[in-house]
Amino acid sequence: MRTTVGIIGAGPAGLLLARLLHNAGIDSVVLESRDRAYVEQRQRAGVLEQGTVDVLRAAGAGERMDREGLRHDGIELRFNRRRHHIDFPALTGGRSVTVYAQTEVCKDLIALQLKEGGPLLFEAEALAVEGAGTDRPSVRFRHEGREDVLVCDYVVGCDGFRGVSRKAIPASLSRVFERTYPFGWLGILADVPPSHHELVYARHDRGFALLSMRSPSVSRLYLQVPADTDAEEWSDERIWDELERRLETDDAWTLRRGPVTQKSVTPMRSYVHEPMRHGRLFLAGDAAHIVPPTGAKGLNLAIGDAVTFARALVHRRETGSDALLDAYSATCLRRVWQAERFSHDLTAMLHRDPGATPFDRRLQLARLDRISSCRAAAADFAEGYTGFPLD
């Protein structure tokens, strides 16, 4: 097989990149190791930054998102049993976020790719990226019981943390920066309308809690738990009781309870691989960076990587210059590190660290009080949450 851009992985980054390239008249082939049902059902992120929303619309993938997505003009911070609203449009010049699950983004992009785009091969396992340092890199893969080779001008690895793409970058060139947190998130999906119209981030002495949603009738909620927690050790009643404690306020707000349909524990880590490019191999999304979910940055960073590569390749076609391709890693990493900073700071401000001292806990409250009482601090927070520029 032969194509201009070989894309490994049909997550948001790979699928959007294929769409952007198709719209620009550049051919690609997408290889995805899982079947279509798995890709369209795996639960991941659900908050889209303003820039991500704008890109999906411009790519022709925003119709259902605009119809079914939930625009949020702010979030609520809770601490010391008090509620503080952060007004995004007022603080950012009109920006907002949209709650629209990653599963739905993938469904929309898959439908467009199969209808209009180039080949999208499910159950096509990438085995290795070869010749990344040459002008004819290739992807060796297995599909329908036999091995094949996809020869490309460029390879973009959107195959996640455990994929093969990053392994093609020589160890002598790689630098890894990471932090593992001593806690995780116990998350549930529940068939009950959300208890608040916006996301609620709660700092409590018992640990962090998040009230989110997937739709007007489905709630998504999280509790901070020790990193080694088994989700099945928590009964539904125990989860609801703990959520109620951590989200409690001094007013009449109440938590709605309902049937729990899914339960899992998400680990918390920060990870960055530098560089994000080697020769004609480019890394995107979780293949290059991971953020703790607190700041809702993972999907949005992946989208940013796809946009950056697509713009760089179009620029090369139009001008003959490799300047933007050569700058791909540095361009992406500027945004990645700002998102890492924001996600780490928010995680540290809201979670109970097992090793924290009383001094540390008072600093958490001081930071939260600063955001809730100072417009400049609130604006910095709102700008970070609604998204760093894609250009």
Catalytic residues: 72, 201, 293, 297, 385
Q: Contact at 8 Å (CB) between 119 and 30?
A: yes
**Which single residue is written with the structure tokens 């928590």?**
234
> How many CA atoms does the CB half-sphere of 120 hold within 13 Å?
24
Q: Contact at 8 Å (CB) between 147 and 138?
A: no
Gap between the Cα atoms of 219 and 238, Å rounded: 17
Q: Contact at 8 Å (CB) between 79 and 365?
A: yes
Give the ranges where 226-327 is alpha helix by DSSP (H): 236-247, 298-319, 323-326
Gap between the Cα atoms of 18 and 10, Å rounded: 9
- Amino acid identity of 120? L
Gap between the Cα atoms of 102 and 285, Å rounded: 13
- Paired with 213 in beta bridges are 219
What 3-state DSSP class applies to 323? helix
Please give the C-alpha separations between residue 384 and each of 297, 340, 341, 365, in angstroms, as whole numbers.
Answer: 10, 11, 10, 20
Report which of 106, 96, 18 is spatially closest to residue 54, judged by C-alpha positions. 96
Helix axes 298-319, 12-23, angle to 10 degrees: 30
